[in-house]
Structure 1
Amino acid sequence: MAQDRSTTDAILTEHFQYTPLSVIDDIINSINTIIYKALTALESGLLSQTPKNLGYTDIKPIRNNNNNKPTTQQQSSSTTTRPAAEVARAEIENGVHALETLLEAAVDKNFDIFELFALQNIFAIRPDVESFVRLAHYEGLQWPVVDGAAGNDDDSSVTLERVGRLRRSLRAERELGLALEKENKAMDTVLVQLRALTAKDGGLGVVLDNGSKQGVQPLVTTAQFSTSQMPGLQTLLVDLRAKMALLPATAEELRKRNIARATSEEERRRYVESVAKRAVRENLGSDVSGERELGPMRSMAEVEALEALIHGIVEKGSDGDDDDDDDDEEEEEDDDDGVD
């Protein structure tokens, strides 16, 4: 069963300020970097040598032993000799690539073993002493006394649960600190971009500072514009007051006008009724109560014509002016006198 390394890794990380795996990864990355540098130097050194110093000479096409003729591939490509420099460069590149593959495989295999050994034997704390480890920055801390352990030593007042809780709290605070640092860097980047945008030499600074360069003062300009509009506003105010004087001053005056208009309509109605009564008297006599015989029956067409006549008289009277109402009233009085 694999050992739980969470507590061990927490203690070692708190002590070294980095995780054990990061140390092993840095070692493996350093070895790989050294290998790549060595292979690059080896390839550069071999390519800097002449093919003759490396034992290469011009290679002639390979002949077939049976009929002493070039092969089909050589016939299709060329029958001339192959340069020694080309052959040397191709073999050097292939050899360096093969050596790189072998070294990477060896590093992966052996340093995997090194990683397991380091985690189990170097970056490790024995389980029997893990609970008693006290780091240097724990010195001088006053641990609270647990209930029921006041008479014991100071070490007995510290429980594993409390230590674990404090470690988790410390880890959370460090993570919060890292997050705040990251956010601070992001805000610094944003500030740099904003300063670049608002700079006077370029960006939006040309637009923002354009008014000051042209001598424009918004407050003074607005005040001058408002002052220039005052005479026009005063003229409009005088015209408005003159028009308001023509309107009814109060609601009482409006009520009186409505009453006068209603009175004139009532007078027109009375006049129409008097005319109708006079026409009836002329046709039926003075008895209009309905006691005597009414005379011959009228057709529907005659009745409708009479109603249309009365309706036209009413409409004509309603369209008249107030002066006509007075004339109608006098005429009505004269008619009443004549009837009497």
Structure 2
Amino acid sequence: MAQNTFETLVEHFGFAPISAIDDVINSVNELLYTAIMGLEQFVLSELKSSEEVDQGIHQVETLLESLVDRHFDMFEIYALRNIFTIPDKLEIVLPHREGMDLTSDQTKEECVDQELDTMRKKVLAVKAMNYKLKEEISRTDKCVKKLERWKERLSFLLTTDKHYNVSPVIDTVRLVTDQLLAIKRTTSSLQSQVDDEKLKQFAIICDERESFVSTMVLRQTEQMKMQQHEQ
């Protein structure tokens, strides 16, 4: 069977011709084994089981299998040559191919190649996106697990106010936050009001006072040492 004929038949029937022939042969073999089992049961019911009976049944089975194989091998050859075939000079156009231009040239092949390249790139892009999404899902799951652990650790805060009869923790946190913001605003206001030059002058005065005190302490220490030495 020519390759084009085989492809046309497969496309038309939806299955390979040899598979249909195999189904027929398998069905015949099943009928054969069913008949042999019936024959064996009949013989054993009429005659007691013995070596001769078993050998005779086996010979009948072998003979029938040989006959089926030989005749259905001929059937397979006949079917492929005369049934599942298309004459060489007969042009057949399948219904779904009517009106289609199946000729091929360099331009069409290049267009097809470009489309294939485009589809490959799209497939790769989708795979890359799926990979990134899986990574993001994994990171999100880890974050959710961490948040759940912290939620378990801090769950006692939700019941502290009830156990110790204090203000709700949320209200306390809000109050502390407001106070901190107020302190920050006050500090910023004071910093903007103080002149940098005044701060420098104050620092100089502090340094002078510190130097004066250090000098006086040093003098007093020297005098005490001299008095002790004279004594």
TM-score under structure 2 length normalisation: 0.50
Letter in 2 for 1:120: R
The RMSD of aligned alpha carbons is: 4.5
Task: Pick one of 16, 20, 23 that aligns with 2:17.
Answer: 20
Distance (whole Å) between structure 2 residues aligned to residue 250 and residue 110 of structure 1: 113
Shift of 1:38: 0.5
Task: Pick one of 88, 92, 97 that aligns with 1:133.
Answer: 92
Shift of 1:270: 4.3
For structure 2, the 5+ residue unaligned runs are 109-157, 160-167, 226-231
Q: Is the 8 A contact 1:47 1:89 kept in 2?
A: no
Question: Match of 1:120?
Answer: 81
Helix, strand or coil: the match of 2:63? helix
Distance (whole Å) between structure 2 residues aligned to residue 126 and residue 247 of structure 1: 102
Residue identity (%): 30
Alignment size in residue pairs: 162
Q: Deviations over 1:266-299 (max 9, x none)?
A: 332245457779999x9xxxxxxxxxxxxxxxxx
Distance (whole Å) between structure 1 residues aligned to residue 220 and residue 172 of structure 2: 65
In structure 2, relative to structure 1, the CA distance for the partners of 1:23 and 1:128 (3 Å cut) is same
Question: Match of 1:264?
Answer: 206
Letter in 1 for 2:85: A
Question: Match of 1:11?
Answer: 8
For structure 1, the 5+ residue unaligned runs are 55-84, 145-159, 166-223, 283-304, 306-340
In structure 2, relative to structure 1, the CA distance for the partners of 1:161 and 1:230 (3 Å cut) is closer
In structure 2, relative to structure 1, the CA distance for the partners of 1:241 and 1:138 (3 Å cut) is closer
Distance (whole Å) between structure 1 residues aligned to residue 195 and residue 43 of structure 2: 117
Quick check: which one's helix share is greater? 2
Point out the structure with max Rg over C-alpha.
1
Distance (whole Å) between structure 1 residues aligned to residue 18 and residue 184 of structure 2: 92
Letter in 2 for 1:24: I
Distance (whole Å) between structure 2 residues aligned to residue 38 and residue 24 of structure 1: 21
Letter in 2 for 1:133: I
Question: Match of 2:172?
Answer: 232
Task: Pick one of 66, 82, 89 that aligns with 1:105.
Answer: 66
Q: Is the 8 A contact 1:248 1:254 kept in 2?
A: no
Aligned pairs for 1:181-196 within 5 A: none
TM-score under structure 1 length normalisation: 0.36
